[in-house]
Amino acid sequence: MQGDTTASDRPCDPRCFLNSAGGQDEGNTGHGAVDFPVAVVLPAAGCGERMGLTTPKQFCTFLNRPLISYTIESFEKISWIKTIVVVVAKESHELMLHIVKTFRHTKVKVVEGGTSRHRSIFNGLQVLTESTEGSSLPRPKVVIIHDAVRPFVEEDFLLKITLAAKEQGAVGAIRPLVSTVIATTSESYLDHSLERAKYRASEMPQGFLFDIIHQAYQLCSEFDFEFGTECLHLALQYSGTNAKLIEGPPTLWKVTYKRDLAAAESVIKETLSLSACLISGTMAETVELASKVQKNLAAHDMAVDVFSCAKEYKELLLSKTRNFIQITVGGGRLSDIAELIKLLEETNHALLYPVVIIWVHLYMSEEQSHRQKPDELTPIMDLAVKAKQGNILLYGIQVIHSKVPELWEKSAERLSELTAALIRDRNPAFTGQLLQA
């Protein structure tokens, strides 16, 4: 009953969508190969009634950001993609402009859609033919059409689509069929099953020479505007271009149902949990604890870089991670954490993904600990409330140093387990809490 691919549904390079805090990447694969203008059209005017939600699915939010912003980010960070036209319903226009502003998308043009998917795409293409005032934007050579609700499209695959579009005029992503496809009689009986090997599911993205798809839409009949399902079909029918089909990765999946939002969130959370920066301080015990945590978190698939001091600003800034662990002795100094928060805020490090800070309080003895007295607790809670407004999630964990090696080891394990859970979950409800390791 299943297509037989062994590919994973994770991004190939899981950090690919965390490249930067919001701008372009530094131009890696493909930049050299794509020496012509490429634009993207993202139809996002659908109402998403299938979700069982009132919000259209492209505007559903997880980790404080609407789905469509993740999709835009996937394109925006690719240096050779110059323009992203997002086509929205009239009633979502303001919302979309707000999203563009909030998440500082710089390549996006927002356009109002038509009464069907094809009319919306055509509106998007039309914008690319107009020379906007003050814009030196060239008419694109290749245009990529994608779905707003397939957030995990990757540069490698977009490069393949783009180059093939330039060569062939039209190109579409395909996937093996997930279910057997059957033909039904008018009385809902089985007529026959299709031979799986001959058929594929047509997916997004699709790429076109701009002139080919633009011409197809200009010639397109009213019927096709209203009921046509495939841009590939229009390119064939109206521009005589037979599309090349390229098998895409499972990461192209489409967020369709409410459960898919949970799946998308889990993919992002997993990716965000692959690395962390740990600021150890210089005391023997904190350095030792840092080393234990580093080792334990490796077993959770988290690569931890250890820095001796938060002042190594430059390295922290260069770091792609969204997770910071700071170990201090006793209550530590609130100002150290406040400084880290300030740094992260100044560099917009939490603009697109929530940043986790875990403040570890190491007490050198059970007696010394007087853990979590009210007068100690309030400042971390206050700081956490403030940080949360900037998408920074601050949690505290208390650890007691033991001279008994087994107990000390066990504390480090519990600390690591709590740390991994806090980073993995990114739950805003628990910020400002001081947990016990």
Q: Which of residues 372-431 bind a copy of itself (CB under 8 A)?
A: 372-374, 377, 381, 417-418, 420-421, 425, 427, 429-430
Task: Check if the beta carbon of residue 77 is closer than 8 Å to that of residue 351.
Answer: no
Cis peptide before 374 (omega within 30 of 0): no
Among 250, 330, 379, 390, binds a copy of itself (CB under 8 A): 250
Dihedral sign computed on CA atoms, order 104, 272, 204, 137 = positive
Among 39, 161, 204, 387, binds a copy of itself (CB under 8 A): 204
Nearest approach, Cβ of residue 162 and a copy of itself (Å): 17
**Per CB under 8 A, does 300 bind a copy of itself?**
no
**What's the CA gap between 350 and 364, in Å, rounded?**
33
> Which residues are within 8 A (CB) of 198 and not within 5 positions of it... i.e. 6 or more apart?
none
Dihedral sign computed on CA atoms, order 130, 131, 134, 140 = positive
- Tokens representing 236 are 């064939």
Dihedral sign computed on CA atoms, order 333, 334, 339, 341 = positive
Amino acid identity, residue 413? E
**What's the CA gap between 397 and 420, in Å, rounded?**
12
Q: Quote the Cα angle for 288-294-295, to 5°.
A: 95
Nearest approach, Cβ of residue 382 and a copy of itself (Å): 12
Among 172, 205, 248, 331, binds a copy of itself (CB under 8 A): 172
Sheet holding 81-88, edge to edge: 108-112, 81-88, 38-44, 142-145
**What's the CA gap between 86 and 76, in Å, rounded?**
12
Measured from the CB atom, the residue of 190 and 284 that comes closer to a copy of itself is 190
Among 9, 130, 382, 409, binds a copy of itself (CB under 8 A): 9
Among 54, 136, 188, 335, binds a copy of itself (CB under 8 A): 188
- Could you tell me which stretch among 180-188, 211-219, 281-289, 320-328 binds a copy of itself (CB under 8 A)? 180-188
**Per CB under 8 A, does 237 bind a copy of itself?**
no
> What is the DSSP secondary structure assignment for residue 380, as one 8-state letter?
H
- Could you tell me which stretch among 24-32, 126-134, 246-254, 322-330 binds a copy of itself (CB under 8 A)? 246-254
- Could you tell me which stretch among 153-161, 240-248, 303-311, 350-358 binds a copy of itself (CB under 8 A)? 240-248
**Per CB under 8 A, does 293 bind a copy of itself?**
no
- Could you tell me which stretch among 31-39, 192-200, 332-340, 402-410 binds a copy of itself (CB under 8 A)? 192-200
- Could you tell me which stretch among 3-11, 87-95, 277-285, 289-297 binds a copy of itself (CB under 8 A)? 3-11
Question: Contacts with a copy of itself in 68-97 (CB under 8 A)?
Answer: none
**What's the CA gap between 75 and 71, in Å, rounded?**
7
Question: Contacts with a copy of itself in 110-149 (CB under 8 A)?
Answer: 117, 147
- Could you tell me which stretch among 26-34, 172-180, 301-309, 336-344 binds a copy of itself (CB under 8 A)? 172-180
User: Number of residues in contact with a copy of itself, rule: CB under 8 A?
Assistant: 84
- Tokens representing 272 are 């965000």
Angle, in degrees to the nearest 10, between helices 284-298 and 405-425: 60
Question: Contacts with a copy of itself in 20-59 (CB under 8 A)?
Answer: 49-52
Nearest approach, Cβ of residue 308 and a copy of itself (Å): 28
**Per CB under 8 A, does 11 bind a copy of itself?**
no
Dihedral sign computed on CA atoms, order 228, 230, 236, 241 = positive
Q: Quote the Cα angle for 27-352-102, to 5°.
A: 110
Among 95, 174, 287, 306, binds a copy of itself (CB under 8 A): 174
